[in-house]
């Protein structure tokens, strides 16, 4: 029995791991190539900096331009900030692909719906990067090739100054990556996708709270490391909503039963990050 609120799509038991790996890997590879096709060289720094001015102006008008003060509060806590550098650079991939594998193994009836929603959200991020190249906070005070060299900016590029697994400033990565691919935040999009997948499918309260907190922790990580403005996270939420809607519409068009808009808590006795006793899923 499929958990309440999950898409009952026929033939889900016929999932093949190698097909899913090729599909997910292929879409992500294509997304990465399009996103970084010309790298930052394809965008004038002045355009990206001007868009950053627009974002800051909007946040200031809302009274919510808190990114500089938030980073300043924690920047002297070296170990603390290094932890968030690690969080930012690693969990983005590890948690997302871990949840994808868990969903495939434990809830195959739900897998195609959420895999489809996630891939649509990821692919649609390219449109945002192309339409609105955005200089992230960490580059605003940089006088280098990709920076705006604004003396009034107090942001610190924590990956460069305090250390992390990698840095966008490393020459190989800087030469191929689009450093202005900030809106929408894919970190927030994937974190929200993970929360929506995990929270309804675990039984224990702590696991639900952890899943729900993950997007908020990710928001803190992207701001304190100066990789994003908080409003980039709103863009991330928007592309997840678009991906969910597209997957739901596809289910309707193909005569499958889509996920309900408000998944109900099911009481099948599932263990945390496990499977339902009644589901018959092995």
What DSSP assignment string belongs to 136-153? Answer: -GGGTT--STT----TT-
Structure token digits, residue 277: 């006793």
Rounded CA gap, 219 and 170, in Å? Answer: 24
Determine contact, residues 45/147, Cβ cutoff 8 Å: yes
pTM exceeding 0.75: yes
* pLDDT number for residue 282: 32
**Residues 38-85 pLDDT 10s:** 555 567 788 888 999 999 999 999 999 999 999 999 999 999 999 999
Closest Cα partner for 167 from 85, 96, 222? 85
Per-residue pLDDT, 44: 79
- Cα gap 97→282, rounded to integer Å: 20
Per-position DSSP letters for 79-122, written without gaps between them? HHHHHHHHIIIIIHHHHHHHHHHHHHHH-HHHHHHHHHHHHHHH
pLDDT of 40: 53
Distances (CA, A) of 201 to 2, 52, 110, 192, 215: 11, 39, 10, 15, 17
Q: How many CB atoms lie within 10 A of CB 188?
A: 27
The token pair at 120 is 């649509």
**Tokens representing 165?**
């697994």
Give the pLDDT of residue 11.
43
Find, among 157, 154, 141, 132, the residue nearest to 226 by Cα.
157
Specify whether the CB–CB gap between 186 and 177 falls below 8 A.
no
Regions of the chain where pLDDT drops below 70: 1-15, 18-19, 23, 31-42, 142-152, 164-177, 256-282
Helices (H) and strands (E) in the chain, counts: 11, 0
What pLDDT is attached to residue 201? 95
C-alpha–C-alpha distance, residues 238 and 235, integer Å: 5
């Amino acid at each position: 029995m499929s958990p309440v609120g999950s898409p009952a799509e026929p033939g889900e038991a016929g999932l093949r791991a190698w097909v899913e790996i090729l599909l997910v890997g292929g879409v992500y590879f294509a997304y990465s190539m399009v996103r970084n096709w010309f790298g930052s060289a394809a965008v004038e720094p002045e355009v990206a900096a001007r868009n950053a001015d627009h974002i800051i102006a909007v946040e200031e008008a809302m009274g919510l331009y808190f990114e500089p003060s938030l980073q300043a509060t924690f920047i002297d806590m070296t170990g603390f900030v290094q932890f968030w550098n690690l969080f930012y650079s690693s969990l983005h991939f590890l948690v997302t692909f871990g949840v994808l594998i868990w969903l495939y193994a434990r809830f195959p009836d739900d897998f195609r719906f959420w895999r489809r929603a996630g891939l649509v959200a990821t692919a649609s991020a390219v449109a945002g990067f192309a339409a609105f190249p955005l200089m992230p906070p960490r580059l605003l005070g940089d006088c280098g090739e990709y920076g705006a060299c604004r003396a009034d900016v107090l942001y610190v590029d924590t990956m460069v100054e305090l250390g992390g697994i990698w840095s966008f400033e490393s020459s190989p990565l800087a030469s191929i990556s689009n450093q202005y691919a900030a809106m929408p935040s894919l970190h927030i999009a994937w974190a929200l996708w993970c929360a929506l997948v995990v929270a309804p499918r675990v039984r224990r309260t702590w696991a639900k709270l952890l899943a729900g907190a993950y997007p908020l922790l990710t928001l803190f990580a992207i701001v304190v490391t100066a990789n994003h403005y908080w409003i980039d996270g709103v863009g991330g939420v928007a592309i997840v909503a678009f991906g969910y809607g597209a997957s739901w519409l596809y289910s309707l068009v193909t005569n499958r039963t889509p996920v309900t808009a408000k998944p109900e808590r099911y009481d099948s006795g599932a263990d945390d990050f496990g499977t339902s006793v009644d589901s018959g899923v092995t």
